[in-house]
Amino acid sequence: MSHITKQSLSELIKNIKDKKLSSTEVTKAFVERSEKSKELNAYVTEDFSAAIDKAKRFDQKPNLDLKLPGIPMAVKDLFCTKNIKTTAGSKILNNFIPTYESTVTQNIWNEGAILLGKLNCDEFAMGSSNETSFFGNVQNPIDKDLVPGGSSGGSSSAVAAQLTPITIGTDTGGSIRQPASFTGIVGLKPTYGSCSRYGIVAFASSLDQAGPMAQNVKDCALLHEVISSYDEKDSTSIDFKRNNYSKELTNNIKGKKIGIPKEYRVDGMPKEIEDLWKKGIDYVKDCGAEIIDISLPHTNYALPTYYIVAPAEASSNLARYDGVKYGFRADGENLIDMYEKTRSEGFGAEVQRRIMIGTYVLSSGYYDAYYLKAQKVRKLIKNDFDEAYKKVDAILTPSTPSSAFKIGEKTNDPVSMYLNDIFTVPVNLAGLPGISIPAGHDAKGYPLGLQIIGKAFDEQNLLNIAYAMEEKINFKNKITDWWIK
Partner 1 sequence: MSKDKSEYLINRKDNQYEVVIGLEVHAQVTSESKLFSTSSTKFGAEPNTQVSLVDAALPGMLPVINEYCVKQAIKTGIGLKAKINKRSVFDRKNYFYADLPQGYQISQFKDPIVGEGKVILDMPDGQKEVGIERLHLEQDAGKSIHDLDPKNTLVDLNRSGVALMEIVSKPDLRSPDEVNAYVKKLRSIMRYLGTCDGNMQEGSLRADVNVSVRKKGTKEFGTRCEIKNVNSIKFMQMAIEYEANRQVDLLEEGQSIDQETRLFDTKKNETRSMRSKEDAHDYRYFPDPDLLPLEISDDFIEKLKLEIPELPDEKKKRFIEKFKVSPYEATILVSDNETSNYFENVIKKSDVKLATNWIIGELFAALNEKNLEITESPISAGNLSKLINLIKDGTISGKIAKTVFEHMMEGDKDPKKIVEEKGLKQESDPKALEALIDKVIDDNREKATEYKSGKVKLFGFFVGQVMKVSGGKANPQLVNEILKKKL
252 DSSP assignment? -
Residue 165 within binding range of partner 1, rule CB under 8 A: no
Q: Is 455 a catalytic residue?
A: no
Nearer to partner 1, 313 or 393 (CB): 313
| Number of residues counted as binding partner 1 (CB under 8 A) | 42
* CA 424 distance to own-chain centroid: 11
Q: Where does residue 431 rank: exposed (0-12), middle (13-18), buried (19+ CB within 10 A)?
A: buried
Query: What is the Cα–Cα distance from 389 to 463, expressed in whole angstroms?
Result: 17
Q: How far is the CB of 461 from partner 1 (least distance, A)?
A: 26
- Minimum separation from the CB atom of position 190 to partner 1 (A): 17
Indicate whether 204 belongs to the interface with partner 1 (CB under 8 A).
yes
Among this protein's residues, is 49 annotated catalytic?
Answer: no
Whole-angstrom Cα distance, residue 182 to residue 77? 20
Near partner 1 by CB under 8 A: residue from 21, 88, 159, 429 = 88
Is the backbone peptide bond immediately before 155 cis, with ω within 30 degrees of 0?
no
Question: Rounded CA gap, 458 and 242, in Å?
Answer: 9
What's the rounded Cα separation, in Å, for the pair 125 and 280?
Answer: 29
237 is catalytic: no
Q: Please say which residue, 204 or 432, places its beta carbon nearer to partner 1.
A: 204
With CB under 8 A as the contact rule, the residue among 272, 313, 393, 421 that binds partner 1 is 313
Residue 376 DSSP class: H
Q: Does 339 bind partner 1 (CB under 8 A)?
A: yes
Query: Side chain identity at 484, as an amino acid letter?
Result: I
What does the chain come to in residues? Answer: 485
Shortest CB 1 distance to partner 1, Å:
39
Q: Is 325 in the site for partner 1 (CB under 8 A)?
A: yes
369 scored as a contact of partner 1 (CB under 8 A): no
91 near partner 1 (CB under 8 A): no
* Residue 371 within binding range of partner 1, rule CB under 8 A: yes
User: With binding defined as CB under 8 A, does residue 335 bind partner 1?
Assistant: yes
CA distance 352 to 92: 12
- The residue among 371 and 467 lying less far from partner 1, judged by its C-beta, is 371
Q: Which of 348, 398, 402, 447 is nearest to 127 (CA)?
A: 348
- Active site residue: 102, 129, 151, 155, which one? 151
What's the CA angle centered on 308, arms 307 and 314, to 5 degrees? 90
**Of 83, 275, 324, 376, which one interacts with partner 1 (CB under 8 A)?**
324
Stretch of 99-107, 177-185, 255-263, 397-405 lying at the interface with partner 1 (CB under 8 A): 99-107
The amino acid present at 122, given as its one-letter code, is D
Answer whether 86's CB lies under 8 Å from 98's CB: yes
235 is a site residue for partner 1 (CB under 8 A) = yes
Pure H helices in 192-334 = 217-227, 271-286, 302-317
- For residues 28 and 329, which CB has a smaller minimum distance to partner 1 in the complex? 329
Q: Is 179 exposed, middle or buried (0-12, 13-18, 19+ CB in 10 A)?
A: buried
Q: Of the candidates 59, 96, 109, 297, which one interacts with partner 1 according to CB under 8 A?
A: 96
| Residue from 316, 383, 411, 477 in contact with partner 1 (CB under 8 A) | 316
Q: Name the one range near partner 1 by CB under 8 A: 57-65, 96-104, 346-354, 453-461.
A: 96-104
Q: Which of residues 102-121 bind partner 1 (CB under 8 A)?
A: 102
Whether 468 and 450 have beta carbons less than 8 Å apart is answered as no
Alpha-carbon gap, residue 276 to 19, rounded angstroms: 42
- Told to check if 232 binds partner 1 by CB under 8 A, we report yes
**Nearer Cβ to partner 1, position 146 or 312?**
312
Q: Identify the CA nearest to 24 among candidates 74, 66, 61.
A: 61
Q: How far is the CB of 322 from partner 1 (least distance, A)?
A: 6
- According to CB under 8 A, which one of 39, 252, 367, 406 is a site residue for partner 1? 367
- The active-site residue out of 102, 175, 237, 246 is 175
What Cα–Cα distance (Å) separates residue 61 from each residue in 48, 56, 57? 20, 9, 7
Q: 3-class SS at 450?
A: strand
Residue 286 interacts with partner 1 (CB under 8 A): yes or no = no
Q: Which of 256, 265, 249, 248 is nearest to 284 (CA)?
A: 256
Of 103 and 216, CB closest to partner 1: 103
Q: Write down the catalytic residue from 67, 76, 118, 256.
A: 76
From candidates 5, 15, 22, 206, binder to partner 1 by CB under 8 A: 206
Sheet holding 43-46, edge to edge: 43-46, 114-119, 72-76
Catalytic sites, residue numbers: 76, 151, 175
Residues that bind partner 1 (CB under 8 A): 80, 86, 88, 93, 96, 98-100, 102, 197-202, 204-206, 232-236, 312-313, 315-316, 318-320, 322, 324-326, 335, 339, 359, 362-364, 367, 371
